[in-house]
A and B are shown apart, each in its own frame.
Chain A
Amino acid sequence: MNPVRQVTGRALPLDRRDVDTDQIIPSDWLKRIERTGYGAGLFEAWRADPAFVLNDARFRGAKILVAGANFGCGSSREHAAWALADWGFGAIIAPSFADIFRSNGLGIGLVLAELPELDVAQLLAAVEADPTLEISVSVEAREVTVAALRYSAPFPLADSWQARLLAGQDEIELSLTHVDSIAAYESRRSSWLPTLS
Chain B
Amino acid sequence: MTTGRPLAEKVWEAHVVHRAAGGPDLLYVDLHLVHEVTSPQAFEGLRLAGRRVRRPELTVATMDHNTPTVADRAIADPDSARQIATLAHNCAAFGIRLFPMGDPGQGIVHVIGPQLGLTQPGMVIVCGDSHTSTHGAFGAIAFGIGTSDVEHVLATQTIARPRPKTMAVSLDGPAPADVTAKDLILGIIARIGVHGGIGHLVEYGGEAIRALSMEGRMTVCNMSIEAGARAGMIAPDAVTFAYLEGRPHAPTGAAWERALDHWRGLPTDADARYDREVRIDARLLRPYVTWGTNPAQSVAIDDRVPDPETLADDASRDSARRALAYMDLRPGTAMRDIAVDTVFLGSCTNGRIEDFRAAAAVLRGRRVRRGIRALAVPGSMAVKAQAEAEGLDRIFRDAGFEWRIAGCSMCLGMNDDVAKSGERIASTSNRNFEGRQGPGARTHLVSPAVAAATAIAGHFAAPADLS
Contacts and interface: CB of A to CB of B under 8 A. Distances in A.
A52 to B, nearest CB: 12
A193 B156 contact: no
A23 B152 contact: no
Interface in A12-40: 16-18, 20, 22-23, 26-28, 30-35
Interface in A63-118: 68-70, 73-79, 81, 96, 98-100, 103-104, 107-108
Nearest to A107: B148
Contacts of A194: 30-31, 117-118, 120, 249-250
A171 B49 CA distance: 13
Contacts of A77: 37-38, 146
Contacts of A17: 315, 319
Interface stretch (A3-11, A134-142, A143-151, A174-182): A174-182
B22 A176 contact: no
Interface in B32-77: 37-38, 40-41, 44, 49, 51, 54-60, 65-66, 77
A62 to B, nearest CB: 22
A196 B57 contact: yes
Given A31-B80, A100-B146, A108-B148, A191 B255 contact: yes
B146 A181 contact: no
B107 interface: no
Nearest to B16: A185
B146 A81 contact: yes
A99 B58 contact: no
Contacts of A75: 129-130, 144, 431
Contacts of B120: 193-194
A160 B23 CA distance: 5
Interface in B168-222: 194-195, 198-199
B435 A182 contact: no
Given A31-B79, A98-B198, A172-B152, A193 B228 contact: no
B11 interface: no
A69 B80 contact: no
A112 to B, nearest CB: 13
A76 to B, nearest CB: 4
A195 B292 CA distance: 42
Interface residues of B, number: 89
Interface in B101-134: 117-118, 120, 123, 128-130, 132
B51 A182 contact: no
B434 A193 contact: no
Contacts of B439: 26, 45
B429 interface: no
A122 to B, nearest CB: 14
Nearest to B230: A99
B233 to A, nearest CB: 15
A175 B130 contact: no
Contacts of A181: 17-18, 26
Contacts of B83: 31-33
B258 A190 contact: yes
A195 to B, nearest CB: 4
A108 B41 CA distance: 13
A175 B152 contact: yes
B195 A70 contact: yes
State which size class the interface on A falls in. Answer: 35 or more
A158 interface: yes
B294 interface: yes
Given A100-B130, A108-B148, A193-B120, A26 B41 contact: no
A18 B195 contact: yes
B414 A171 contact: no
Contact of B156 (A74, A98, A172): A172
A15 to B, nearest CB: 8
Contact of B22 (A45, A99, A104, A158): A158
A107 B198 contact: no
A181 B262 CA distance: 23
A16 B194 CA distance: 14
Interface in B128-154: 128-130, 132, 143-149, 151-152
Contact of A103 (B149, B198, B315): B149
A128 B369 CA distance: 50
A56 interface: no
Given A172-B49, A175-B26, A70 B194 contact: yes
Contacts of B117: 194
A96 B195 contact: yes
Interface string B296-320: 0000000000000000000100110
B199 A99 contact: yes
Please indicate which of the listed interface residues A27, A103, A179 has the most CB atoms of chain B within 10 Å of its own CB: A27
Nearest to B61: A196
- Residue of A98, A104, A178, A194 with most partner-chain B CB within 10 A: A194
Contact of B315 (A33, A68, A160): A68
Interface stretch (B158-166, B391-399, B452-460): B158-166
B157 interface: yes
Contacts of B147: 35, 78-79
8 contacts: A20-B431, A20-B433, A22-B435, A23-B433, A31-B77, A70-B228, A100-B130, A172-B51
| 5 nearest A-B residue pairs (beta carbon) | A159-B22, A78-B146, A160-B23, A76-B144, A104-B146
